[in-house]
């Protein structure tokens, strides 16, 4: 199987992902809101914060009214989108785990995802395979090991992979992934940092490994170039992430994405654009970034 071509920057750095910290910081900050006004409630997020992220979080906690006012501005839409996509995937995961035929969960680019712990009851012992590049996977494992009382053990398999030399299919099967089983796949906050070849190769791998009735829930960027007049400023979201250290390199329009997935045996059954995403999940008048949408597709 062809090894997916990822941007070289993802391999040369030995530091854990900076965007993984940024999204985790957003979930930690969300805990400052009353439970009924949160988009997501990830009680594990603060534990995964780096010292730098904790330093950033401290003054934000002291100025919550100003932060919440700023979050209503369209330029802050990337933050709300990150939270809303997390909620979208949470809800699809919860629905999938109600199906006894769903045998396993696969999280691609797991980062500091805590679903294996937050959904422990619903998982009921079903295995969770967390795939990521070695630096981040090892950092996460270290944090979990340092907080045994917080992270109750369950069936998590960490799958380290170097996409330069290893195939996803090989690493998964070597790690105990059951080929042909009904699987729920989380692919969150990853596709926009890949090449088109890497995205299509990964979808092809999933199509070959996952059984009938499997679901993939993921997000995409689009309109990276040529935005309509008056919306050029909205491209700052992608540029801001590039400044953090991981440039946006791939996008596909919502009108084209169904065909992209269909080639690999997945049919989109829930596609939510930014305005509907905000209407479903956002609180406090926070808009979502127009260039981000989410979907769930069934195999």
Which of 239, 257, 258 lies closest to 249 in space, CA to CA?
Answer: 239
Instruction: Please say if the pLDDT value at position 11 is more than 50.
Output: no
pLDDT band at 135 (very low <50, low <70, confident <90, very high): very high
The secondary element (H helix, E strand) that includes residue 203 is helix 196-209
Mean pLDDT computed over 169-181: 97
- Do the beta carbons of residue 79 and residue 292 sit within 8 Å? no
Tokens 């989410």, located at residue: 294
pLDDT band at 215 (very low <50, low <70, confident <90, very high): very high
Whether 4 is covered by a domain: the verdict is no
Percent of the chain exceeding pLDDT 70 equals 86
- Do the beta carbons of residue 139 and residue 176 sit within 8 Å? no
- What is the three-class DSSP state of 215? strand
pLDDT band at 127 (very low <50, low <70, confident <90, very high): very high
Which residues touch 243 (CB under 8 Å, ≥6 apart)?
Answer: none
pLDDT digits 0-9 by tens, 54-96: 998 888 887 778 877 777 777 778 899 999 999 999 999 999 9
Instruction: Please say if the pLDDT value at position 13 is more than 60.
Output: no
- Do the beta carbons of residue 219 and residue 293 sit within 8 Å? yes
pLDDT band at 247 (very low <50, low <70, confident <90, very high): confident
**C-alpha radius of gyration, the chain, whole number:** 18
Mean pLDDT computed over 193-208: 94
Mean pLDDT computed over 237-252: 66
Residue 233: which domain range? 9-298
Task: CATH number of the domain at 158, please.
Answer: 3.40.50.150
Instruction: Please say if the pLDDT value at position 273 is more than 70.
Output: yes
Q: Which residue has the higher pLDDT, 247 or 237?
A: 247
What are the tokens at 202? 């990964």
Mean pLDDT computed over 204-228: 87
Whether 211 is covered by a domain: the verdict is yes
Percent of the chain exceeding pLDDT 90 equals 70
**What is the spatial distance between Cα 198 and Cα 109, in angstroms, rounded to a whole number?**
13
Mean pLDDT computed over 171-188: 98
Mean pLDDT computed over 221-245: 55
The count of structural domains within the chain is 1
pLDDT digits 0-9 by tens, 85-106: 999 999 999 999 999 999 999 9
Q: Which residue has the higher pLDDT, 11 or 200?
A: 200
Instruction: Please say if the pLDDT value at position 10 is more than 50.
Output: no
Beta bridge partners of 216: 185, 297
Pseudo-torsion of CA 268, 269, 275, 281, nearest 10°? -120
- Do the beta carbons of residue 31 and residue 45 sit within 8 Å? yes
**What is the spatial distance between Cα 195 and Cα 9, in angstroms, rounded to a whole number?**
12
**What is the spatial distance between Cα 52 and Cα 50, in angstroms, rounded to a whole number?**
5
Whether 258 is covered by a domain: the verdict is yes
The CA-based angle 10-111-68, given to 5 degrees, is 110
Whether 3 is covered by a domain: the verdict is no
Whether 56 is covered by a domain: the verdict is yes
State residue 232's pLDDT score.
Answer: 52
Whether 145 is covered by a domain: the verdict is yes
Whether 2 is covered by a domain: the verdict is no
State residue 191's pLDDT score.
Answer: 92
């Amino acid at each position: 199987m062809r090894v997916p071509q990822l941007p070289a920057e993802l391999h040369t750095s030995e530091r854990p992902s900076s965007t993984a910290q940024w999204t985790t910081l957003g979930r930690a900050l969300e805990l400052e809101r009353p439970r009924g006004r949160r988009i997501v409630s990830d009680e594990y997020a603060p534990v995964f914060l780096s010292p730098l992220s904790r330093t950033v979080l401290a003054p934000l906690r002291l100025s919550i009214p100003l932060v919440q006012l700023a979050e209503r501005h369209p330029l802050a839409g990337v933050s709300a989108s990150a939270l809303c996509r997390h909620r979208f995937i949470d809800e699809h995961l919860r629905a999938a785990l109600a199906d006894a035929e769903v045998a396993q969960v696969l999280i691609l680019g797991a980062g500091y995802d805590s679903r294996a712990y937050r959904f422990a009851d619903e998982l009921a012992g079903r295995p969770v395979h967390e795939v990521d590049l070695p630096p981040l996977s090892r950092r996460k494992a270290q944090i979990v090991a340092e907080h045994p009382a917080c992270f109750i053990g369950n069936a998590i398999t960490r799958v380290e992979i170097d996409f330069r030399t290893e195939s996803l299919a090989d690493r998964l099967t070597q790690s105990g992934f059951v080929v042909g089983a009904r699987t729920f796949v989380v692919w969150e906050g990853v596709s926009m940092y890949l090449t088109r070849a890497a995205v299509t190769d990964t979808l092809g791998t999933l199509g070959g490994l996952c059984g009938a009735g499997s679901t993939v829930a993921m997000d995409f960027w689009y309109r990276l170039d040529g935005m309509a007049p008056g919306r050029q400023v909205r491209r700052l979201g992608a540029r801001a992430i590039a400044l953090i250290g991981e440039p946006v390199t791939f996008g596909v329009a919502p009108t084209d994405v169904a065909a992209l997935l269909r080639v690999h045996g997945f049919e989109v059954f829930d596609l939510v654009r930014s305005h509907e995403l905000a209407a479903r999940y956002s609180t406090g008048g926070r808009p979502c970034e127009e260039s981000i949408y989410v979907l769930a597709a069934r195999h």
